[in-house]
């Protein structure tokens, strides 16, 4: 009598008498059995209900055991298959083992042998599934650990950015304000959340390359010479080089770091990109960076008034700044008296989840 929670088995043979012999044997061992008279019928039954074990004859009309085995391996790889064959067909049975069958039984078979082969096949199936589960979990753990290492590296880089700014009263809080402005612009533009996250990430790290710039030049009072200006403008390239190993999967964030001083008219640094060559994420951050820089005191000039900075954004449309992003900035901050924003509290940065939106830069938006 089959047990309620017994292992289910499908016996496939075109000879009803042999099927019944195997079914009685297996039910005596506690299996729940179903029967099929051909490979085609067996496939129909498997589509309705998957079973852990299939015992199939090799020689059958319509679809033979080899054809059935191929279908099972392709569609239900966790199903254990035992083939039943005549002694003269042992080579065919061995070929089935190479295709993925877990064992074979030769006719005329002994019931004790069938019982032993069935138990061995189920043990192999269990071990195979445990191995696959272990491999999957191991890969997942490795990925999680690698991502955690990247997150720790990101936290250290974020701390470095704010340490550099804290040393300089002129730039203190600049990066986190730029990230705040950029995030608000991106949301106002209706950009997808993954893209907004990339913009936030790139914006807060955009000036990390200043670690490679002379402090004497950074803090110089008065107008910079041409060589000094070019030296300062090396920081986007330095920053991109620092972050490249960490952000290889988030190229749009890396583009923000390298290209936030580019201009739509091609007169920016470091690559002279123009128009659609500049990713949308970069265009958003450029406006935030420029506005915060204009409304902050610098060693070589006082802060511009908010009205003057807003005027600069308006006048720079389509030459330096992306017009839709400027409009989004104005819509996100309609009350000019609330500008510039106070420095927000620093929040931990995270690498965005990988999606097509984050692994490729967004196209330019009109």
Is-contact 54 42, C-beta < 8 A? yes
Give the per-residue pLDDT at 7.
86
- How far apart, in whole angstroms, are the C-alpha atoms of residue 198 and residue 184? 13
Collect the ranges in the chain with pLDDT lower than 70: 1-5, 87-90, 145-149, 152, 353-366
Give the per-residue pLDDT at 88.
59
Give the per-residue pLDDT at 172.
86
Could you count the other beta carbons within 10 Å of the beta carbon of residue 362?
Answer: 21
Give the per-residue pLDDT at 142.
72
Residue 340, both tokens: 């510039």
DSSP label at residue 198: H
- CB-neighbour burial class of residue 151 (10 A; exposed 0-12, middle 13-18, buried 19+): middle
In angstroms, how far is CA 343 from the centroid of its own chain?
A: 32
- How far apart, in whole angstroms, are the C-alpha atoms of residue 345 and residue 1? 70
Report how far apart, in Å, the C-alpha atoms of 178 and of each of 127, 140, 205, 289, 349 are. Answer: 54, 35, 10, 5, 14
Give the per-residue pLDDT at 146.
67
Give the per-residue pLDDT at 97.
85
- Ramachandran sector of residue 318 (left: φ over 0; alpha: ψ -120 to 50; beta: rest): left
Domains and CATH numbers, the chain: 8-134 (3.40.50.2300), 145-359 (1.10.3210.10)
Report how far apart, in Å, the C-alpha atoms of 317 and of each of 183, 245, 287, 308, 363 are. Answer: 20, 34, 10, 15, 18
Is-contact 31 8, C-beta < 8 A? yes
- How far apart, in whole angstroms, are the C-alpha atoms of residue 317 and residue 315? 6
């Amino acid at each position: 009598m089959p047990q309620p929670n017994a292992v289910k088995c499908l016996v496939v043979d075109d000879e009803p008498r042999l099927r019944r012999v195997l079914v009685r044997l297996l039910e005596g061992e506690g299996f729940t059995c179903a029967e099929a008279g051909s490979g085609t019928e067996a496939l129909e039954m498997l589509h309705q209900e998957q079973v852990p074990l299939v015992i199939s004859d090799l020689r059958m009309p319509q679809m033979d055991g080899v054809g059935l085995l191929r279908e099972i391996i392709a569609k239900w790889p966790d199903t254990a298959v035992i083939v039943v064959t005549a002694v003269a067909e042992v080579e065919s049975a061995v070929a089935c083992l190479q295709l993925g069958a877990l064992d074979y039984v030769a006719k005329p078979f002994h019931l004790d042998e069938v019982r032993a082969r069935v138990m061995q096949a189920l043990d192999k199936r269990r071990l195979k599934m445990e191995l696959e589960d272990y491999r999957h979990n191991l890969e997942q753990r490795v990925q999680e650990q690698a991502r955690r290492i990247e997150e720790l590296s990101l936290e250290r880089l974020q701390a470095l950015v704010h340490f550099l700014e804290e040393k300089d009263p002129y730039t203190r809080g600049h990066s986190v304000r730029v990230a705040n402005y950029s995030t608000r612009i991106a949301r106002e533009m209706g950009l997808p959340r993954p893209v907004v996250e990339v913009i936030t990430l790139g914006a807060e790290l955009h000036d990390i390359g200043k670690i490679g710039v002379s402090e004497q030049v950074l803090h110089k009072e008065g107008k910079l010479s041409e060589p000094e200006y070019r030296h300062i403008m090396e920081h986007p390239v330095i920053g991109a080089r620092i972050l490249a190993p960490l952000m290889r999967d988030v190229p749009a964030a890396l583009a923000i770091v390298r290209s936030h001083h580019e201009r739509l008219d091609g007169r920016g640094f470091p690559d002279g990109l123009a128009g659609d060559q500049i990713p949308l994420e970069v265009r958003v951050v450029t406006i935030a960076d420029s506005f915060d820089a204009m409304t902050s005191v610098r060693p070589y000039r006082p802060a511009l008034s908010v009205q003057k900075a807003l005027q600069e954004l308006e006048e720079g449309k389509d030459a330096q700044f992306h017009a839709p992003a400027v409009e989004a900035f104005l819509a996100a901050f309609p009350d000019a008296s609330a500008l510039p924003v106070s420095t927000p509290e620093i929040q931990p940065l995270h690498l965005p989840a990988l999606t097509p939106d984050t692994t490729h830069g967004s196209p330019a938006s009109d």
